[in-house]
């Protein structure tokens, strides 16, 4: 019986990998200009990190994590998101000692056991950025501006920025009382999950995608009407700085994101090409997260974005991808007995810094030429009997079709 790929995963084949290289290159170059540095964390962590960081009552922790015991019975979890891992690394490695403000970015696979759909996999890839140590609303706006700059450079258009404030512990206390009272009066109309959320964490109801719940959510009390002075002032400044940069946005009063660690600013960047699950990036401020994980109270803000969703959006908008890297030289052997000599020459060409290849299965000359075209080779080096007797080869420009005889001793100089 043939073994198939696990549900919700994908193979990224050579024909598509260039897209990933291109996106990663744009992200790195853009974020380096913004002063961010790459960090890499393990793909699995102690389960407690995500329970404490993301929130015990979230769908991610309750339903979607891949959790397993190690040989000593300790609970480990494949990371479902990147921020908690970055904060753990920040604390464990005492990164605050090197700089009061730390600017980090990451790439990597994340894992959630959810129903696969367009752009949504059980193993999916994200990039994200974290700005740790600044309480300023300017930091919130930089995060949004950096995300938009990446998408603009990639060629994406028709993106919409949604923003909201989810308040802080102080102002959420009164709001949750009001929200819980309202939801309790509508409890019979809520989905089964939301009925449980009303008691455990009523703000999670606002994140429900069930159509019946969405209708009720529209009538629910709004967090914006219950912000404390500090949160209200912060949100007003965020909007003002976005206006200064002429970044268009829409306030979505039901936007709370799916993780409990958010405070004050929350935002999403959406693309119309993705249907109901249309967010390609989302994030916000998490001023309580580091303290929740055992560190000193430290403000932070960041976002995460799905690479698969970015690729889908680019393809649906017919964004032009850069061409696949072409091979510089393809060696063609007229007689198989000269294959060893061709390989020696190939290695010499490679050591000189050129990408080069040849046929390894004894194909005909015609088939070797087809292979050279398939690899978009700029040049072919043809090893013919007559030319080899003079210690020469034929160098053919595959673009202009011009060719000339070159002494093997001077082939590298000719290619250079």
pLDDT digits (tens, 9 = 90+) for 123-141: 999 999 999 999 999 999 9
How are beta strands 75-78 and 44-46 bridged, if at all? antiparallel
305 within 8 A of 156, measured Cβ to Cβ: no
Q: What is the pLDDT of residue 324?
A: 61
Q: What is the pLDDT of residue 215?
A: 86
What is the spatial distance between Cα 96 and Cα 289, in angstroms, rounded to a whole number? 15
* Ranges assigned E (strand) in 192-336: 250-251, 263-271, 279-285, 300-306, 329-333
Q: Is the pLDDT of residue 277 over 70?
A: no
Which run of H or E residues covers position 403? strand 403-407
> Is 411 in a helix, a strand, or coil?
helix
Provide the whole-model pTM: 0.85
> Is 255 in a helix, a strand, or coil?
coil
Query: Residues 10-31: pLDDT tens digits?
Result: 999 988 999 999 999 999 999 9
Beta bridge partners of 301: 131, 285
Is it true that 14-168+228-316 and 329-415 share their CATH fold?
Answer: no
Q: Is the pLDDT of residue 292 over 70?
A: yes
Q: What is the pLDDT of residue 55?
A: 85
What is the spatial distance between Cα 291 and Cα 53, in angstroms, rounded to a whole number? 10
More confident residue, 349 or 186: 349
Question: SS3 sequence, 304-357?
Answer: EEEHHHHHHHHHHCCCCCCCCCCCCEEEEECCHHHHHHHHHHHHHHHHCCCCEE
In the predicted model, what is the mean pLDDT of residues 371-399?
Answer: 92
What is the spatial distance between Cα 303 and Cα 72, in angstroms, rounded to a whole number? 35
Terminal CA-to-CA distance of the chain, rounded, Å?
52
In the predicted model, what is the mean pLDDT of residues 303-311?
Answer: 94
* Nearest by Cα to 60 from 92, 83, 90, 91: 83
> Is 210 in a helix, a strand, or coil?
coil
The domain segmentation of the chain, as residue ranges, is 14-168+228-316, 329-415
Query: Residues 85-108: pLDDT tens digits?
Result: 999 999 999 999 999 999 999 999
Q: What is the pLDDT of residue 106?
A: 97
Query: 14-168+228-316 in CATH: which number?
Result: 3.30.930.10
Beta bridge partners of 392: 407
Percent of the chain whose pLDDT exceeds 70: 98
Question: Cα 130 vs. chain centroid, distance in angstroms?
Answer: 13
Q: Is the pLDDT of residue 70 over 60?
A: yes
The sheet carrying 403-407 orders its strands as: 356-358, 329-333, 379-383, 392-397, 403-407
In the predicted model, what is the mean pLDDT of residues 101-124?
Answer: 91
In the predicted model, what is the mean pLDDT of residues 377-388?
Answer: 92
Q: What is the mean pLDDT of the chain?
A: 91
In the predicted model, what is the mean pLDDT of residues 142-156?
Answer: 96
* The token pair that represents 37 in the structure block: 């540095």
Contacts of 170 (CB under 8 A, 6+ apart): 228, 230
Mean pLDDT is lowest, of 47-51, 194-198, 333-337, 367-371, for: 194-198
136 within 8 A of 194, measured Cβ to Cβ: no
What is the spatial distance between Cα 230 and Cα 60, in angstroms, rounded to a whole number? 30
265 within 8 A of 301, measured Cβ to Cβ: yes
What is the spatial distance between Cα 245 and Cα 183, in angstroms, rounded to a whole number? 38
In the predicted model, what is the mean pLDDT of residues 330-354?
Answer: 93
Which run of H or E residues covers position 137? helix 137-154
Tell which CATH classification among 3.20.20.450, 3.40.50.800, 3.40.50.1100, 3.30.70.240 matches the domain 329-415: 3.40.50.800
Mean pLDDT is lowest, of 44-53, 219-228, 246-255, 372-381, for: 219-228
pLDDT band at 214 (very low <50, low <70, confident <90, very high): confident
In the predicted model, what is the mean pLDDT of residues 159-185?
Answer: 89
Q: What is the pLDDT of residue 274?
A: 59
Q: What is the pLDDT of residue 258?
A: 64
């Amino acid at each position: 019986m043939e073994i198939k790929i696990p549900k919700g995963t994908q193979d990224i084949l050579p024909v598509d990998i260039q897209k990933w290289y291109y996106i990663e290159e744009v992200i790195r170059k853009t974020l380096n200009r913004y002063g961010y540095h790459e960090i890499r964390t393990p793909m699995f962590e102690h389960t407690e990190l995500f329970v404490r960081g993301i929130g015990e009552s979230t769908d991610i922790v309750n339903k979607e994590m891949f959790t397993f015991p190690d040989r000593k019975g300790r609970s480990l979890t494949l990371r479902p998101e990147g921020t908690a891992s970055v904060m753990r690394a920040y604390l464990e490695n005492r990164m605050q000692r090197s700089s009061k403000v730390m600017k980090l970015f990451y790439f990597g696979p994340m894992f959630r056991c959810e129903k696969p759909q367009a752009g949504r996999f059980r193993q999916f890839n994200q990039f994200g950025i974290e700005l740790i140590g600044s309480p300023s609303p300017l930091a919130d706006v930089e995060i949004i501006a950096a995300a938009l700059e990446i998408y603009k450079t990639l060629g994406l258009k028709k993106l919409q920025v949604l923003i909201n404030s989810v308040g802080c512990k102080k102002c959420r206390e009164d709001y949750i009382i009001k929200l819980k009272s309202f939801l309790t009066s509508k409890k019979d109309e809520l989905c089964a999950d939301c009925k449980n959320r009303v008691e455990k964490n009523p703000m999670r109801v606002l994140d429900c995608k069930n159509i019946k719940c969405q209708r009720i959510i529209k009538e629910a009390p709004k967090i914006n009407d219950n912000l404390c002075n500090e949160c209200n002032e912060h949100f007003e400044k965020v909007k003002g700085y976005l206006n200064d940069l002429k970044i268009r946005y829409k306030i979505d009063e039901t936007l709370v994101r799916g993780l409990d660690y958010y405070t004050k600013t929350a935002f999403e960047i959406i693309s119309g090409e993705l249907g109901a699950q249309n967010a390609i990036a989302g994030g916000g401020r998490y001023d309580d997260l580091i303290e929740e994980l055992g560190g000193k109270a430290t403000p932070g803000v960041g976002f995460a974005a799905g690479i698969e969703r970015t690729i889908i959006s680019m393809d649906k908008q017919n964004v032009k991808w850069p061409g696949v890297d072409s091979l510089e030289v393809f060696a063609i052997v007229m007689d198989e007995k000269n294959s060893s000599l061709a390989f020696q020459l190939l290695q010499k060409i490679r050591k000189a810094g050129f990408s080069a290849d040849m046929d390894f299965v004894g194909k005909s000359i015609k088939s070797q030429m087809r292979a050279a075209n398939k690899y978009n080779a700029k040049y072919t080096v043809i090893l013919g009997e007559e030319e080899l007797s003079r210690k020469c080869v034929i160098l053919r420009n595959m673009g202009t079709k011009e060719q000339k005889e070159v002494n093997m001793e001077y082939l590298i100089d000719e290619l250079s």
